[in-house]
Amino acid sequence: MEIIDAQAQMKKRQPIGVFDSGVGGISVLKELIRIMPNENYIYFGDSKHAPYGTKTLEEVRRLSFHNTRILLEEGAKGVVVACNTATSAAVRIMRSMYPALPIVGIEPALKPAALQKEHPKVLVMATPMTVGQEKFGQLMKRYEKKADIYPLPCPGLMEFIEAGDLDSGRLHAFLRELLEPYLEKGLDSVVLGCTHYPFARKVIQEIVGGRITIFDGGGGTAREMKRRLGAANLLSPSTETGWVKFENSLATREELALCRQLLDSK
């Protein structure tokens, strides 16, 4: 009996695994740390194979299963799929592969944006794969009577963040060209449906104007993971600040330095 209890206590102190196609999921990691500061985290960024959003469904599934295996081998007690693209492609299958494991994915925060006011106009920025998937089609169907929804695939945007470019003239020009056609529609909100995009939030807000509300799914995903770990009795009892271990399939010094920089960014 005592041995079983000691094992259960040890399990609670195991890290939470988080993965993304690259550094974008650090926007979700920040939210996780904000609401669960005493947990430990392993963040795996698959920058070597980024972007996922323009790959085939099979490739994204294969890479997502691989990333999950890496995190489990390192002792993750639960996995956050901090990538909208990987979530839409693989999370359902992952849940059937690991039925006892708390697995939480992320999807575009369309609900709060669509319910923000009476029939708002909502722009959803995401990868080509996310907006093309059935999961997003179903999400849109749920809210299409409550809001005018404009899905906007943004190939090329995540690459700026992967390169550590959060504020250059080139990024401004790229986003301006992308967003310009929607500015005259009288948008009420923009949903950042890719975990890389919150790192470009400042530039996006500048272009769309301060009146428009920007939503992302990081906070909701972090709260859901806390709830799931609580339900499984897996929350850490530690009262000390936890640690974060970064791993990246590129494994270069620059990449790991960028991870730290993004974690510390405002």
* Binding track, positions 140-159, relative to ligand DGL; x by CB under 6 A: ------------------x-
Residue of this chain nearest to ligand DGL (CB atom) = 53
Query: Could you tell me which residues come within 8 angstroms of residue 215 by beta carbon, excluding any fewer than 6 positions away?
Result: 109, 112, 113, 189, 190, 191, 192
> Which of 107, 82, 104 lies closest to 234 in space, CA to CA?
104
**Of 64 and 236, CB closest to ligand DGL:** 64
In which element (H, E) is residue 114 found?
A: helix 110-114
Report if residue 52 touches ligand DGL, rule: CB under 6 A. Answer: yes
Q: Which of 71, 83, 125, 214 is catalytic?
A: 83
Q: Is 83 a catalytic residue?
A: yes
**Both tokens assigned to 58:** 């099979």
**Of 178 and 234, CB closest to ligand DGL:** 178
* From candidates 194, 200, 214, 259, binder to ligand DGL by CB under 6 A: 194
Q: Which of 32, 191, 194, 207 is catalytic?
A: 194
* From candidates 40, 130, 133, 249, binder to ligand DGL by CB under 6 A: 130
* From candidates 80, 90, 114, 196, binder to ligand DGL by CB under 6 A: 196
Q: Is 154 a catalytic residue?
A: no
Q: Read out DSSP for 192-246?
A: E-STTGGGGHHHHHHHH-TTSEEEESHHHHHHHHHHHHHHTT------S---EEE
- The answer for 75, left when phi > 0, alpha when psi is -120 to 50, beta otherwise, is left
Residues that bind ligand DGL (CB under 6 A): 20-21, 24, 50-53, 83-85, 127, 130, 158, 194-196
